[in-house]
Structure 1
Amino acid sequence: MRRSEGITRGARAAVTAAALAVLAPPGGAAANPSPGPAPATPVCEVRDSRLTEISGMAATDDGYVVVNDGADDEARRRIFFLDPRCAVVRTVSYPSRPRDTEDLAVGADGTVWVADTGDNDRSRQTVAVWKLAPGTDRPVLYRMAYPDGPHDSEALLVTADNRPVIVTKYSAVLYAPSADLRPGATTPLAKVGQVRLPASTTSNPFSALGRTAVTGAATAPDGRRVVLRTYADAFEFDVADGDLIGALTGGTPRVTPLPDEPQGESITFSADGRSLLTLSETADQPAGTWPRLLRYPLTAGATPATPRATPEPTARAAGDRAGSPGGVAVASVVAAGGLGLGLVVVAVLVLARSRRARRR
């Protein structure tokens, strides 16, 4: 998600209040708290002016691979290879302009997959993945189409048999190609499941809304674990017999809080599989703020949280159209049968007015 305008304190508070009113469990009980934050260890800083909107990352044996959010600036429309100290050592350009690159994964054979699936306005007729085979310098484009209309998606996984799995941002619905991908063709996607993310109370810049938006995903090097992240937390699932879809739809995750990252959209397992690594966008941070690669210890043995259903939204809010987590508020109202509708409408109007004022 590219956040072109900031959210004022008043607007954010209004939207958060609306979301809390809608998402509160019956009887007013508080959501299950997340476990205490595990301390993050800074690894390195990405000191390159082209990489302030990092939205996807994967660890490799000799460093990292990252991509930027969006495609407005030609210098940023590349796949970037970093060394262990986060310095750029190589870039690969796309043969044509991508629409909105949002995540990245590396397959078991070393192929780099880039998810060109961002769609803040939910207006794209097709989404795509780019595949960069090992030893090549020209990514290949594969187009796909949802069976039920556009979705905004910022997370990508690749199965053991090299099948891409797209995770929608709002409600964590899983889609995968229904046939083999072919260059020059549009492959239909099929809905293959939905993830039930646990409730959370982890502090983050988007408050309640940031705890529900899926912004990244990754698979462990041995294929036995998979992780989804929001702006607030990482949810790690165990994968049995290579069944990634079954793990996400039927498993109960361990939770690693990722508190107060500026705009956390990237996650990967370390190359040795012993920790989680994250990066945040810093485009809206004070000048001189560089993206920091953070290392979080895995929460092996932690008590899993209680899953909570996250229905697919059926309406758009002004905040969702602008690419912010504000769209979750309206989606939650529809799923809850209209509870708190008035409060949410007021909140969204405040948010939209704030953005219009900032543009002027």
Structure 2
Amino acid sequence: MRGRGRLTWGRRARAGAVVTALLAGVVPPAVVLVPGAATAGAAAAGTPVCQVRDDRLREISGMVATDDGYVVINDGADDEARRRIFFLDQRCAVVRTVSFPSRPRDTEDLAIGRDGTVWVADIGDNDRSRPTIGVWRLAPGAKQPVLHRMTYPDRPHDAEALLLDASGRPLIVTKGGSGTVFLYAPATALRSDATTPLTALGQVTVPSTTTSNPFSFLGRGVITGAASAPDGRRVVLRSYADAFEYDVPDGDVVRALTTGTPRITPLPDEPQGESITYSRDGRSLLTVSESAGQPAGTRSTILRYPATASTATAAPSTESVDPVSPTAVRPAAGEIGGGAGRTWPLALGAGTLLVLLGLAGVLWWRHTARR
């Protein structure tokens, strides 16, 4: 997220966001507590892996893990020195960079193919005004990436997440705003000398949660990153608050996302989490936040969370990882966790709280407007 589209930490932005969301009707439904679900108070922070100390990497928006370390990109930085693909070692130190041959617009995510090809998603569009978006493809051993331009079939979308399907085709996941996002993919083979039309593949609605994050319920309803497990049998979408893992037992990523039920790993209180990837052994989820706009001296830190066990491959993990809270599982259709009698009080309580927040925001807004 960049420019005027960036969420800020000020009270004005928070109150304005609450009022705007209420007036726009994007308030998510009340969360039903499920036995074993991780709540905001119970969710554990990730385990630090390493700290990115290079000053060029203040707006990390995409990351993938490699056998040697990590690859990261910035969020469409205006500074030329930051408009590069950065390769880090396992201690998060920059070991080399690859420049873009022309200026990217708004690079938001990374994906890595099974052959080692690095895909850069130049798909951000806060104003929803871009006539085309693009993906940069850096083949193993190549000196610079190749740009492939694409265009949506309906209207411009803001997007921050990229996946690859079983054939290596890029899948664009829009950012959304109320928990529902859309999937797009190239309708034909990508070319470097022509713009490829995209085709719509369906929509994904992620579960509501209560995980604490800097942007409250707004941060739980947007998708800011995605990744595929090394074996291709799981994919994950992330918001500012949570990771949503889906099983892909047959290689069909689109069907998994549009019809599957995700397992939830809370990512509590990450400053501005826009990146996620799997570790190379597939047992962990790795995340990193932007450090721009944070207190002086703050550095982006890669965090590790245990990946949730796949129902398709239920073998227990032997990796030694600090324990975190249990993952939240969405109830089956017709099932209300914790007893049906608890649902109405929760819904009424959440609705009352939102109304009070909205009234407080309106009063505050009117007060500041008269000053």
Alignment-derived partner of residue 2 in structure 1: 2
Alignment-derived partner of residue 322 in structure 1: none
Cα distance in 1 between the residues matched to 2:365 and 2:181: 27
**What displacement does 1:16 show?**
2.9
Cα distance in 2 between the residues matched to 1:83 and 1:156: 23
Cα distance in 2 between the residues matched to 1:24 and 1:135: 46
Q: 1:197 to 1:24 in 2, by over 3 A?
A: closer
Q: 1:243 to 1:184 in 2, by over 3 A?
A: same
Cα distance in 2 between the residues matched to 1:199 and 1:179: 35
Cα distance in 2 between the residues matched to 1:101 and 1:264: 15
Indicate conservation of the 8 Å contact 1:32/1:305, yes or no: no
Q: 1:57 aligns with which of 52, 63, 67?
A: 63
Q: 1:181 to 1:307 in 2, by over 3 A?
A: farther
Where 2:15 maps in the other structure, the secondary structure is helix
Q: Deviations over 1:265-324 (max 9, x none)?
A: 00000011000000000100011110000000123274522599xxxxxxxxxxxxxxxx
Runs of 4+ in 1 over 4 A off after TM superposition: 29-34
Whether 1:179 and 2:196 are equivalent positions in the alignment is no
Q: 1:11 to 1:224 in 2, by over 3 A?
A: same
Amino acid at match of 2:18: T
Indicate conservation of the 8 Å contact 1:82/1:88, yes or no: yes
**What displacement does 1:121 show?**
0.6
**What displacement does 1:241 show?**
1.4
**What displacement does 1:248 show?**
0.4
Cα distance in 1 between the residues matched to 2:213 and 2:92: 25
Q: Tell me the TM-score normalised to structure 1 length.
A: 0.82
Q: Deviations over 1:11-54 (max 9, x none)?
A: 303423664684253xxx54557524244110000000000100
Q: Deviations over 1:102-150 (max 9, x none)?
A: 0001011110000000000111000000000001111000000000110
| RMSD of aligned alpha carbons | 2.6
**What displacement does 1:90 show?**
0.6
Where 2:18 maps in the other structure, the secondary structure is helix
Indicate conservation of the 8 Å contact 1:52/1:283, yes or no: yes
Amino acid at match of 1:16: V
Whether 1:260 and 2:260 are equivalent positions in the alignment is no
Indicate conservation of the 8 Å contact 1:38/1:297, yes or no: no
Whether 1:12 and 2:18 are equivalent positions in the alignment is no
Whether 1:277 and 2:277 are equivalent positions in the alignment is no
Q: How does 1:231-246 map to 2 (within 5 A)?
A: 231-246=240-255
Whether 1:215 and 2:217 are equivalent positions in the alignment is no
Q: Which moved more, 1:2-11 or 1:149-158?
A: 2-11
Q: 1:47 aligns with which of 39, 50, 53?
A: 53
Where 1:90 maps in the other structure, the secondary structure is strand
Where 1:56 maps in the other structure, the secondary structure is strand
Q: How does 1:147-162 map to 2 (within 5 A)?
A: 147-162=153-168
Whether 1:120 and 2:145 are equivalent positions in the alignment is no
Indicate conservation of the 8 Å contact 2:290/2:300, yes or no: yes
Indicate conservation of the 8 Å contact 1:167/1:175, yes or no: yes
**Percent of aligned pairs sharing the same letter:** 65
Whether 1:78 and 2:89 are equivalent positions in the alignment is no
Structure 1 residue runs of 5 or longer lacking an equivalent are 309-339
**What displacement does 1:2 show?**
1.7
Where 1:209 maps in the other structure, the secondary structure is helix
Indicate conservation of the 8 Å contact 1:160/1:242, yes or no: yes
Cα distance in 2 between the residues matched to 1:76 and 1:82: 14
Q: Which moved more, 1:152-161 or 1:292-301?
A: 292-301
Q: 1:39 to 1:15 in 2, by over 3 A?
A: closer
Q: Tell me the TM-score normalised to structure 2 length.
A: 0.80
Alignment-derived partner of residue 304 in structure 1: 329
Cα distance in 2 between the residues matched to 1:109 and 1:230: 28
Whether 1:199 and 2:205 are equivalent positions in the alignment is no
Indicate conservation of the 8 Å contact 2:265/2:328, yes or no: no
Amino acid at match of 1:233: D
Q: 1:294 to 1:286 in 2, by over 3 A?
A: same
Indicate conservation of the 8 Å contact 2:123/2:158, yes or no: yes
Indicate conservation of the 8 Å contact 2:45/2:267, yes or no: no
Q: Deviations over 1:231-250 (max 9, x none)?
A: 00000000021111111001
**What displacement does 1:3 show?**
5.4
Q: Deviations over 1:135-194 (max 9, x none)?
A: 111100000000011000000001121100000001320000000000020000000011
Q: Deviations over 1:202-222 (max 9, x none)?
A: 110110100011000000000
Aligned residues: 317
Where 2:329 maps in the other structure, the secondary structure is coil
Alignment-derived partner of residue 110 in structure 1: 116
Amino acid at match of 2:135: V
Q: 1:41 to 1:144 in 2, by over 3 A?
A: same
